[in-house]
Amino acid sequence: MTRRNRHSGEGRRGRTADRGRAQANVVGVAILLGVTVLSLGALTASIGTVLESNAAAANADRVAADMDAALEPVAATGPGRGRISFTGGRLRTVERTVRVLDGSEVVATERVGGLVFTSDRNRVAFVGGAIVRGTGSAARMYADPPIAASRGTLLVGVARLNASGSDAVGGSAPTSVVLRTNVTHDRRAVGDGAYRVAVETETPEPWEAYFARHNATVDRRDFDGDGVASVVAAYPGNRTAYVVEHDMRVEVRRG
């Protein structure tokens, strides 16, 4: 009698332990599935963010290429037409100035304007004949400005947009903008002196890197107090300077 009760109790304890292990396994599987689902969700969100970032970068790269093809201040003469297309963002004109200084004296002031595309953290800007492409706080020179220095000579090419038409176009929908240009050129001698070139820009680092590569020392200065500083490049020694104006007379139209 005692033996049967002992065996019966052992059987009940065994079955209870088996049920406990089964329940623990079920709970463990449920937890594992939950963690897997959460991980897949986080991975999906991460992939989505990367894809959106890559698409935005590709969009800005396309704008930079379109801008480079549509605005050719040095190579083009007479009427021209180009197009800038983007899937999201805004294209606007801005006020920008290029100055030439002899020592501390400003000897030439060129109000060149600028064309700027922005989309989230991406930015493309055409100023003075150069194109700067940026993402977040990083930016690089996509197309160099028409400024050249050789022994004893400084050639300051400035592309003046002289823009008319829409001040800002774009949004979240796909947008296409037509740029009509009519380019003329004029060259004048400034004379001999110790020259500096000042370019007003919201992305100074690529300009500083460009001037440094061409053996100029750089500084920054806000000439007109509007909050947008100019990168000031000082070329060593005395030079004969020429200013070449590329007047583009750009008409901006949604098309």
Q: What is the pLDDT of residue 16?
A: 57
Nearest CA among 216, 220, 221 for reference residue 235? 216
pLDDT bracket for residue 104 (50, 70, 90): confident
Residue 2 belongs to some domain of the structure: no
Q: What is the pLDDT of residue 1?
A: 47
Q: Which pair of structure tokens corresponds to residue 175?
A: 């947008």
Q: Which pair of structure tokens corresponds to residue 203?
A: 């992305």
Q: Are 100 and 190 in contact (CB under 8 A)?
A: yes
Residue 28 belongs to some domain of the structure: no
Q: What is the pLDDT of residue 82?
A: 96
Residue 11 belongs to some domain of the structure: no
Residue 188 belongs to some domain of the structure: yes
Q: Which pair of structure tokens corresponds to residue 204?
A: 């100074």
* Most confidently predicted of 41-50, 54-63, 72-81: 72-81
Residue 43 confidence (pLDDT) above 50: no
Residue 15 belongs to some domain of the structure: no
Residue 214 confidence (pLDDT) above 60: yes
Contacts for 124 with CB less than 8 Å, ≥ 6 apart: 60, 63, 64, 67, 116, 117, 131, 132, 133, 134, 142
Pairwise CA distance, residues 34 & 135, whole Å: 37
pLDDT bracket for residue 181 (50, 70, 90): very high
Q: What is the pLDDT of residue 228?
A: 95
Residue 178 belongs to some domain of the structure: yes
10-31 pLDDT, tens digit each: 555 555 555 555 555 655 555 5
**Predicted model pTM:** 0.79
Residue 71 confidence (pLDDT) above 60: yes
107-162 pLDDT, tens digit each: 999 999 999 999 989 999 999 999 999 988 899 999 999 999 988 999 999 999 99
| 3 state DSSP class of 222 | coil
Residue 31 belongs to some domain of the structure: no
Transcribe 123-166 into DSSP letters. Answer: EEEEETTEEEEEETTEEEEEE--SEEEETTEEEEEEEE---EE-
Q: What is the pLDDT of residue 125?
A: 97
Q: Per the structure, how many domains does the chain have?
A: 1
Q: What is the pLDDT of residue 51?
A: 47
Give the range of the structural domain holding residue 235, as residue numbers without chain letter: 56-254
Residue 9 belongs to some domain of the structure: no
Residue at token pair 């001040």: 167
DSSP code for 95: -
